[in-house]
Amino acid sequence: MTDPTKAWEGLPAPGERIVWQGRPVFIATDICGYRSLEDYVIESDAEIALTQEGDQQTVAFAERWVRGSKGRKQRRIIGFELLPDGREVYGLLRAIRDAARDNETDQFA
């Protein structure tokens, strides 16, 4: 497997870059000098959504519940925002999800 720390090479600041390394999806961010690298596994039951915002698209593929400032739980959508090539990313994520479904089906055959 490729070293995920290589995701930082060439990352503009501030910004976000998609790094594809098989089934896991890595999101590398650099916002105001604060860097983070999170990984998400696209499971066979993942709900993937594409929304249009002007001439750009947003692709959502996961969600997380976080505590707000007053202790309330809030749902945070995980995905890639304001992409000029969102339809292509949407297709790639669906292909990863479909491959996971095929792997599950093969195990029971």
Would you give per-residue pLDDT tens digits along the chain (109 residues)?
A: 445 555 444 444 445 555 444 467 778 788 888 888 888 888 888 899 999 988 999 999 988 898 988 889 998 888 888 889 899 999 999 998 888 888 776 655 5
Q: What is the pLDDT of residue 57?
A: 93
Burial-class residue 94 by CB neighbours within 10 Å (0-12, 13-18, 19+).
middle
Q: What is the pLDDT of residue 49?
A: 94
Nearest to 61 by CA among 100, 108, 30: 100
Domain residue spans in the chain? 1-41, 44-109
CA gap 51, 99 in Å, rounded: 23
